[in-house]
Amino acid sequence: MREFSVFDIMGPIMIGPSSSHTAGAARLAKIARKIADDEIKEVEFILYESFARTYKGHGTDRALLAGILGFDPDDERLPRSFEIAEELGLKFKFTESDEEAPHPNTVRMIIKTSDGKTYNILGCSVGGGNVLLKEINGIEVEFTGEYETLITTHIDKPGIVAAVTKVLADCNINIAFMRVYRHAKGDKAIMVIESDQEIPERAKEVIKNIDGILNAIILNPV
Amino acid sequence: MYQFNYGYELLELTKKFNKPISEIVMLAEQERTGEDLEVIFEKMKKNLQVMREAINKGLNEDIKSVSGLSGGDAKKLYARIVIGNTLSCETMAKAAASALAVTEVNASMGRIVAAPTAGSSGVIPGALITVARKFGKSEDDMTKALFTASGIGIIIAKNATLAGAEGGCQAEVGSASAMAAGALVELMGGTPEQCLTAASFAIMNLLGLVCDPVAGLVEIPCEKRNALGALNAMICADFAIAGMDSVIPFDEVVETMYRVGKAIPSALRETAEGGLAKTPTAMRLKKEIFEKEKRGD
């Protein structure tokens, strides 16, 4: 039987009107912002299925942009995210898609940062404000953002996984879940590690310097 | 030691440790998370605070939903209460107005507590805060009652569902009403058995309630059903405290709610393809809102 916290039932505190269409949307975009890990200059949201059909009535658009701005789902600035983004000079655009998606509440976020990088992130809002990240830059992933999460981009070759987990073990960090995803053998790969403890910044720096690691980011629970 | 999956297990724990439901629920949370009881209690108090703020906002400010479909009705009812002119007694009218207030704040992108869902966020604050005020209950009493409500919600979540898409409105407003009814009984000094009896009555009264939101938005008829859920909770708490027996035990009522939810056609489970959502007026409103979205107004 699934376990529930009292705060799964009485909560979350959130900006309405919908936990899946508003709170979940804000969380997805907030995770995407952390993945981009730099100043965001431009973002396009491609909305699918229920998100595409009802996004304005549910404020999904404002919630998504609020997440990109780094606001939490209960931040009262959320309904004013359009105005705030304009003041900050952040460009944004919403596109409705007719294509099928992995879930009725799905969004693709194409983010351009000030250092010229582009991130392409697909995620779903799966109910009650919970989310699932499904794709980062063309590589399939699956994580929820509920745990402390380390995401590395690396070259698919022997020894990398062991090197990364050793750094974590040295910091006395217990790995709750771990998965490795790749395009093709020897190509770019993504590793997602969800842990019970907070991962210190210095661990990230050590991991970044491992031969074959292209990037490492840490997402605190969102 | 304090974990429970069913109503009968929760009642056994209250007997074994001679504690009210709220305390067992708190201890179970502490056991599961390892957090201090004080931290858990303060976190729940924060929920109460957000509930109260939402009520005040909805009763006093001019609220309009994002779609423009609803808003301002809580204030209208409150104006009748102020001049002492409602047909229902003041407590009931206030509970209804407060429940409406929270759901209107929700629809206008204000801050609320999903309790258990955003769509049913008005029921518990509407009933609990109104009754607590009438009887001069403290902030801590109300916070404890929210744990009682959560315990009931946990059992429903484990054995049935809290999602309108799965179980219809009975799973959202019905569950919220059951949670509120149990919370009210403990607030007023009833026994743990009476808490679950009140929760049983609350679900029994709303069994089969469909989810048919106009234009797919949590506004019509959801807001008024939240008010109904709050009033239902109060009556059912009165039933239980008066010593009435629900005859069908809580766990069987929860199982029934799940079974009935499965039998509700998908058109009446949050898809906005049946019920009020399918009326000519609702179809017209949906089209208007949809066209407005397309134009980007």
Residue B124: its pLDDT value, please?
A: 98
Amino acid at B295: R
- Assess B43–A contact: CB distance below 8 Å, yes or no: yes
Residue A104: its pLDDT value, please?
A: 86
Q: Which element (helix H / strand E) includes A8?
A: helix A6-9
Backbone angles phi, psi at A175, to 5 degrees: -85, 120
- Assess A11–B contact: CB distance below 8 Å, yes or no: yes
Spatial distance between the Cα atoms of A67 and A30, rounded to a whole number of angstroms: 4
Backbone angles phi, psi at A102, to 5 degrees: -65, -15
Q: What is the CATH number of the domain that holds A205?
A: 3.30.70.260
Backbone angles phi, psi at A219, to 5 degrees: -105, 120
- Assess B72–A contact: CB distance below 8 Å, yes or no: no
Spatial distance between the Cα atoms of B142 and B49, rounded to a whole number of angstroms: 10
Residue A184: its pLDDT value, please?
A: 84
Confirm whether A72 is domain-assigned: yes
Instruction: Tell me the H-state helices in chain B.
Output: 7-17, 21-33, 37-60, 73-82, 90-107, 123-134, 139-159, 164-167, 169, 175-187, 192-206, 222-241, 250-263, 280-295
Q: Which element (helix H / strand E) includes A111?
A: strand A105-113
Out of A1, A62, A129, closest to residue B5 by CB: A1
**Mean pLDDT, range B41-64, rounded to an integer:** 97
Residue A182: its pLDDT value, please?
A: 87
Out of A9, A22, A57, closest to residue B157 by CB: A9
Decide which of A137, A164, A179 is a domain's last residue: A137
**Mean pLDDT, range A196-206, rounded to an integer:** 91
pLDDT tens digits along B241-282: 999 999 999 999 999 999 999 999 999 998 888 999 999 999
Chain A residues whose CB is inside 8 A of the B219 CB are 17
- Assess B264–A contact: CB distance below 8 Å, yes or no: no
**Residue A188: strand pairing partners:** A155
CA angle, corner B42, sides to B36 and B45, nearest 5?
145
How close B285 comes to chain A (CA, Å)?
12
Do A25 and A61 belong together in one domain?
yes
Chain B residues whose CB is inside 8 A of the A18 CB are 118-119, 218
- Assess A56–B contact: CB distance below 8 Å, yes or no: yes
Do A10 and A77 belong together in one domain?
yes
Confirm whether A142 is domain-assigned: no
A-B contacts at Cβ under 8 angstroms: 133
Residue pair A34/A222 in contact (Cβ under 8 Å)? The answer is yes
Out of B115, B146, B157, closest to residue A4 by CB: B157
Residue B272: its pLDDT value, please?
A: 86
Name the nearest CA neighbour of B250 among B192, B167, B163.
B192
- Assess B150–A contact: CB distance below 8 Å, yes or no: yes
- Average pLDDT over chain A reads 93
Decide which of A112, A137, A162 is a domain's last residue: A137
**Mean pLDDT, range A129-156, rounded to an integer:** 92
Confidence category of residue A38, pLDDT binned at 50, 70, 90: confident
Confirm whether A181 is domain-assigned: yes
pLDDT tens digits along B58-75: 999 999 998 999 999 999
Spatial distance between the Cα atoms of B227 and A153, rounded to a whole number of angstroms: 51
- Give the residue, B294 or B62, on which the prediction is more confident: B62
Residue A95 sits in which domain range? 6-137
Of all residues in chain A, what percent carry a pLDDT higher than 70?
100
pLDDT tens digits along B85-117: 999 999 999 999 999 999 999 999 999 999 999
CA distances from B267 to A104, A187, B57, B289 (A): 16, 46, 34, 20
Do A123 and A152 belong together in one domain?
no
Decide which of A110, A137, A164 is a domain's last residue: A137
Q: Which element (helix H / strand E) includes A105?
A: strand A105-113
Residue B109: its pLDDT value, please?
A: 96
Residue B293: its pLDDT value, please?
A: 61
- Average pLDDT over chain B reads 96
Residue B290: its pLDDT value, please?
A: 76
pLDDT tens digits along A103-116: 889 999 999 999 99
Tell me if B157 and A8 make a contact (CB, 8 A cut-off). yes
Cis ω on the peptide bond leading into residue B20 (within 30° of 0)?
Answer: no
Do A119 and A16 belong together in one domain?
yes
Tell me if B216 and A7 make a contact (CB, 8 A cut-off). no
Confirm whether A1 is domain-assigned: no
Chain A residues whose CB is inside 8 A of the B218 CB are 16-18
Do A23 and A60 belong together in one domain?
yes
Out of B111, B116, B293, closest to residue A56 by CB: B293
Q: Which element (helix H / strand E) includes A43?
A: strand A40-48
CA distances from B107 to B51, B110, B127 (A): 15, 7, 19
User: For A147-151, B209-213, B236-240, B268-272, which range has the lowest pLDDT when averaged over its residues?
Assistant: B268-272
Residue ranges and CATH numbers for the domains of chain B are 7-295 (1.10.4100)
Do A33 and A111 belong together in one domain?
yes
**Mean pLDDT, range B136-157, rounded to an integer:** 98
What is the complex's ipTM, to 2 decimals? 0.95
Do A154 and A175 belong together in one domain?
yes
**Mean pLDDT, range A208-219, rounded to an integer:** 93
Q: What is the CATH number of the domain that holds A101?
A: 3.30.1330.90
Confirm whether A143 is domain-assigned: no
- Assess A162–B contact: CB distance below 8 Å, yes or no: no
Number of separate domains in chain A? 2
| Residue showing tokens 């931290």 | B39
B294: pLDDT strictly greater than 80: no
